[in-house]
Amino acid sequence: RRGAVARAGAAAALLGSSAVFFALLAAPIFPAHPEKRNCLAILAFVSCLWTTEAMPLFATSMLVPGLVIGLRVMVDRTVDPPVRLAPAAAAPVVFGAMMSQVVMLLLGGFAMAAALSKHYVAKWAAAAVLGRVGDAPAALLLASMCVAVVASAFISNVAAPVLVYSLLEPVLRTLPAGRHGEDLARALVLGVALASNLGGMTSPIASPQNVFAIERMADAAGEAPSWLAWFAVSLPVAGVGVLACWGALLVAYPMARAAPVRSLPSSQSSATGVQLYVVAVCAGTVALWCANATLAPVVGGMGVTALLPLVAFFGTGVLTKDDFNSMLWTVVMLAMGGLALGAAVSSSGLLHTVARAAAAASHGLSPWATHALFCSLVLVATTFVSHTVGAMVILPIVEAVGRAMLPQAHPRLLVMGAALTCSAAMGLPVSGFPNMAAASLEAADGRAFLSTADFIRVGVPCSLVAYGVIVTLGYRLMTGANGW
């Protein structure tokens, strides 16, 4: 019965989204620019499908190129006046935009994550850390959150909470009954989720929204900021955010501090040759990404560098064909659809029109006020909508507003602030994958560790604190250290 209700809901959402699509196609808006009207219809249609999940997210993304090409949204602006591209001319442009360096960056990150996970490097390192914490509940909570942040940075904040929960299982399974044990269980489960969300800020491959942000932050020459420039902002912001969340959890669950804890066994085995090879390749790749600003004239960009772990792992048998087939191709397709939609919104001129209206609405505001305003809007939207979906829809508009700001353009400032804020939205069970994973985790008796009230009571204040860190410390680092 539950499946039938879900199917009926999906069908209703699909019909509603389709009605919006055809209504916008027929609406008398942009009469002189049908490409803008068609692009707006596509944007609304896809956004509704992504928001309601009437179709799987990646399947919705696969609709985008066909709609963009068939409705002749792409425009050739090299001629005067601009001309709408026919489908035969638009197809290579759209598919060229979909296969950008962002996709290679994703694949390189997936290869690193697969190697670190398959050969137990991530689990070995996490166990080595947690096994040395001892039996102090507050220390175990902070260590678990720190492990989740580091794991998120290098194997994504989708896999990180699953990894840490597997390591904490012996503790969660042996906690005593009563308020003390329940408080510590809630604090640990929710702490890992909040830390994984904040860990999604830390590196360009930590979460899909960061990958989209890197693409939007490229300058006129196509050069994106290096990993080092990203780390200079994200690590301090995430670090302060984690400490604030840790304090909030200890206040919200005071009994957790007195709960007896079973110490986790530390890892006694030494690293194997394959594990050392995996660590060396991953460290070398990250180092090259950090030095991208210097190496770009030689290697061409981070997408080219991302080929290193793909060749180094699959070419030597560290990863196999089955591992390649098991990569998160749904995320790749989601990213490619987002890139196609971004190219369409820009080429049609719709992005310029929306950005001009947004810039007029924020006219007279200082760069800090504009940054704080857009970050607040992103925080509200991505609390209720997937972080990835929110980034795909909002970041192109934020970038265009940043480029239109006078007397100086600030696209990188606004885009990175918005991307970090996507990860800071963690007030509901649906706010990001880490929260969904935490909400679905159950104790041995089948009861969920967390309720929606737990997320609201702790997640909402933590989201607001993280927002405050982004618009203060983050803003200072972006404008000071990086000069954005």
DSSP string for residues in 38-86: HHHHHHHHHHHHHHHTSS-HHHHHHHHHHHHHHTT--EETTSSS-EEPP
Which of the given ranges, 153-157, 374-378, 382-386, has the highest pLDDT on average?
374-378
Question: Rounded CA gap, 41 and 429, in Å?
Answer: 30
Question: Is the distance from CB of 248 to CB of 177 less than 8 angstroms?
Answer: no
Weakest-pLDDT range from 5-19, 144-158, 228-242, 338-352: 338-352
The pLDDT, as a whole number, for residue 2 is 66
Question: Is the distance from CB of 415 to CB of 213 less than 8 angstroms?
Answer: yes
The pLDDT > 70 percentage for the chain reads 94
Query: With helix as H, strand as E and coil as C, how does 333-387 read?
Result: HHHHHHHHHHHHHHHHCHHHHHHHHHHHHCCCCCHHHHHHHHHHHHHHHHHHCCH
The whole-number average pLDDT for the span 163-184 is 78
Residue, of 339 and 475, whose pLDDT is higher: 475
The answer, yes or no, to whether residue 282 has pLDDT greater than 70, is yes
The answer, yes or no, to whether residue 129 has pLDDT greater than 80, is no
The pLDDT, as a whole number, for residue 24 is 95
The answer, yes or no, to whether residue 263 has pLDDT greater than 60, is yes
The pLDDT > 90 percentage for the chain reads 35
The whole-number average pLDDT for the span 153-168 is 80
The answer, yes or no, to whether residue 221 has pLDDT greater than 60, is no
Average pLDDT score over the chain: 85
The 10s digit of each residue's pLDDT in 403-443 is 877 667 788 889 999 999 999 999 888 788 788 788 878 88
Tell me if residue 213 falls in helix, strand or coil.
Answer: helix
Residue, of 11 and 345, whose pLDDT is higher: 11
Return the amino acid letter for 206: A
Question: Rounded CA gap, 16 and 38, in Å?
Answer: 18
The 10s digit of each residue's pLDDT in 441-483 is 888 777 888 888 899 999 999 999 999 999 999 999 998 866 7
* Per-residue CA distances from 477 to 354, 405, 412, 474, 480 (Å): 28, 19, 12, 5, 5
With bands split at pLDDT 50, 70 and 90, how would you rate the model's confidence at 95? very high
Take residue 376 and report the two structure tokens written for it: 């607040």
Question: Rounded CA gap, 332 and 334, in Å?
Answer: 5
Residue, of 358 and 339, whose pLDDT is higher: 339
Weakest-pLDDT range from 58-62, 175-179, 219-223, 397-401: 219-223
The answer, yes or no, to whether residue 85 has pLDDT greater than 80, is yes
The 10s digit of each residue's pLDDT in 31-77 is 889 999 999 999 889 888 877 878 887 888 899 999 999 999 999 98
Name the DSSP letter for residue 441: -
- Name the nearest CA neighbour of 116 among 146, 84, 152: 152
The 10s digit of each residue's pLDDT in 294-312 is 787 888 877 888 899 999 9
Question: Rounded CA gap, 155 and 122, in Å?
Answer: 8
The answer, yes or no, to whether residue 194 has pLDDT greater than 90, is yes
The pLDDT, as a whole number, for residue 14 is 93
Weakest-pLDDT range from 9-13, 48-52, 201-205: 48-52
